[in-house]
Amino acid sequence: MRKIFLLLGVGGVAYGLYTFYLKQLEILENLTYRLKKIRLGSISLDSTEVNLTLEVVNNSDISITITNYYFDIFVNNIFVGVVQSANVNQDLKGLGGISTFDVKVRVKNSALLGSNLISGLRENFQNATIRMKGIYGLKKGLFKFKDLQVNETFKVKDFM
C-alpha cells in the first residue's frame, strides 16, 4: 500500500511539473518586443547590414536560452533579407525580466531599390507588416530544442 501512495505522489509531482512547464511555454510565446536602437553597419554592392537593439520582456516564470536563429524577413510581403544569430546562447530572463538583444539584419539592396517597398513604407509606415519566417533553437537545463519553426507577422507600430 505504501508503494502505491509513493507512486501516486511521484506521478502527481511529475504531472504538476509537466503542466507547469506547458503553461509557461504558452506564456513564453507572448513576448513583448520594443525597438531601442537602429544602427547602419557595413554596406556592400549587394547588401546592407542593419544592427537593431531589441528589448524583450518575458512574462513567463522560466528563463530560457536562445541557442540560434535564422529568419527570412519580409516587409509588406517583399523579401528584404535575413536575420542570423550573431551571438549564440542569449539568455531570455523570466519573471517579467527585460533582456536586450543585438540583432544583425542583412538587407538586400535590390529589395530596396528594385521594388515598391520604399514608396509603400512612405505612405503608411506604422501599418507596414514585417513577417519573420525561419527556425530557432531553445535550451532550458538538460532540454534542448532545435529547428523550431516560426512564421510570425507583426505591424511596425508593434515595435514602436
With cut-offs at 50, 70 and 90, classify the pLDDT of residue 105. confident
Domains in the chain, number? 2
Q: Tell me the C-alpha distance between 12 and 36, whole Å.
A: 44
Same domain, 46 and 93: yes
Claim to verify: residue 51 and residue 96 sit in the same structural domain = yes
Is 52 found in the same domain as 113? yes
- Looking at the structure, do residues 17 and 39 belong to the same domain, yes or no? no
- The DSSP secondary-structure symbol of 158 reads G
Do 117 and 52 belong to one domain? yes
Q: What is the domain range of residue 12?
A: 1-30
Cα–Cα distances (Å) from 68 to 2, 34, 54, 86, 129, in that order, read: 47, 20, 16, 8, 24
Q: What is the CATH number of the domain that holds 55?
A: 2.60.40
Same domain for 61 and 12, yes or no, is no
Q: Quick one: which of 125, 57, 123, 126 has its CA closest to 93?
A: 57
CA gap 29, 119 in Å, rounded? 33
Q: Identify the burial level of 130 via C-beta atoms within 10 angstroms of its C-beta, where 0-12 means exposed, 13-18 middle and 19 or more buried.
A: middle
86 and 110 fall within a common domain: yes
Grid cell locating 149: 519553426
Same domain, 14 and 87: no
Give yes or no: residues 36 and 8 share one domain.
no
Q: Is the pTM of this model over 0.75?
A: no
For residues 28 and 64, the answer to whether their CB atoms sit within 8 Å is yes
**pLDDT tens digits, one per residue of 30-83:** 667 777 888 888 888 888 888 888 787 877 777 878 888 888 888 878 888 888
Are residues 18 and 6 both part of a single domain?
A: yes
In the prediction, which pLDDT does 146 show? 78
Same structural domain, 24 and 50: no
Rounded to the nearest integer, the mean pLDDT of the chain is 77
